[in-house]
Amino acid sequence: MQSSYKVLAFALVAASSFTSVHVLEFCQSTDSDCHSHDSTASDNQLSPHTVKSRWNISVSNLLKDLDQFRVSCKKLIEAFPIDEVDGNFARSVKNCIFSRSIPTPLKGRLRLAAASKDVIEGILDLDVAVTQSDDFLHYASGGRRLSGSVPLAHRYGGHQFGYWAGQLGDGRAHSLGQYTNRRGEVWELQLKGSGKTPYSRSGDGRAVIRSSVREFLCSEAMHFLGIPTSRAASIIVSDEPVKRDQFYNGNVKTERGAVVLRLAKSWFRIGSLEILAQSREINLLRKLVDFVIDEYFFSISQDDPDKYLVFYSTVVNETAHLIARWMSVGFAHGVCNTDNFSLLSITIDYGPFGFMESYNPNFVPNTSDDEGRYSIGAQANVGLFNLEKLLLALSPVLSTNQQKEAKIILKGYGDIYQMRIHQLFKAKLGLLGEEEDDGYLIAFLLKMMEDTQSDFTMTFRQLSEVSARQLHNRNFTQMWALEDLSSHKLFSDWLSIYLLRLNRVDLKVPLLRQQNDSDLDRQHRMKNINPRYVLRNWMAESAIRKAEVNDFSEVELLHHILSFPFVTQETAEEAGYAARPPLWAKRLKVSCSS
Ligand code: AMP
Ligand code: MG
SS (H, E, C) 528-551: CCCCCCCCCHHHHHHHHHHHCCCC
Which pLDDT tens digit goes with each residue over 365-382? 999 999 999 999 999 999
Atom number in ligand 1 closest to CA 340:
4
Say how far apart CA 262 and CA 278 lie, in whole Å.
29
- Does an H or E element contain 573, and which? helix 570-574
Which pLDDT tens digit goes with each residue over 282-329? 999 999 999 999 999 999 999 999 999 999 999 999 999 999 999 999
CA of 82 to the centre of ligand 2 (A): 21
The protein residues having their C-beta less than 5 angstroms from ligand 2 (an ion) are 340, 349
pLDDT higher at 589 or 395: 395
CA of 338 to the centre of ligand 1 (A): 13
Atom number in ligand 1 closest to CA 207:
19
Asked whether 592 and 352 are in contact (CB, 8 A), the reply is yes
Protein residues whose CB sits closer than 6 Å to any atom of ligand 1: 168-172, 199-200, 203-206, 335, 340, 349, 351, 592
Residue 589's pLDDT band (cuts 50, 70, 90):
confident
Is 509's pLDDT higher than 70? Answer: no
Mean pLDDT value across residues 11-32 = 32
One-character DSSP codes across 343-358: TT--B---SS-EE--B
pLDDT score for 35:
44
Say how far apart CA 226 and CA 228 lie, in whole Å.
7
> Given 31, 118, 127, 339, which residue is catalytic?
339
* Residue of 106, 172, 368 to test ligand 1 pocket, by largest number of atoms within 8 Å of CB: 172
Our answer to whether residue 339 is catalytic in this structure is yes
pLDDT score for 48:
36
Mean pLDDT value across residues 235-257 = 95
pLDDT score for 174:
98
pTM: 0.90
The number of the ligand nearest the C-alpha atom of 374 reads 1
Residue 59's pLDDT band (cuts 50, 70, 90):
low
CA of 314 to the centre of ligand 2 (A): 22
Atom number in ligand 1 closest to CA 170:
12
Residue 270 has what DSSP assignment?
A: H
* Residue of 98, 156, 199 to test ligand 1 pocket, by largest number of atoms within 8 Å of CB: 199
Say how far apart CA 416 and CA 402 lie, in whole Å.
20
CA of 339 to the centre of ligand 2 (A): 6
Which pLDDT tens digit goes with each residue over 345-357? 999 999 999 999 9
For 78, counting Cβ atoms within 10 Å of its Cβ (0-12 exposed, 13-18 middle, 19+ buried), the class is exposed
- Does an H or E element contain 160, and which? strand 157-160
Is 215's pLDDT higher than 70? Answer: yes
Q: What percent of the chain has pLDDT over 70?
A: 88
Contacts of 544 (CB under 8 A, 6+ apart): 209, 210, 213, 214
Is 514's pLDDT higher than 50? Answer: no
Contacts of 436 (CB under 8 A, 6+ apart): none
pLDDT score for 60:
66
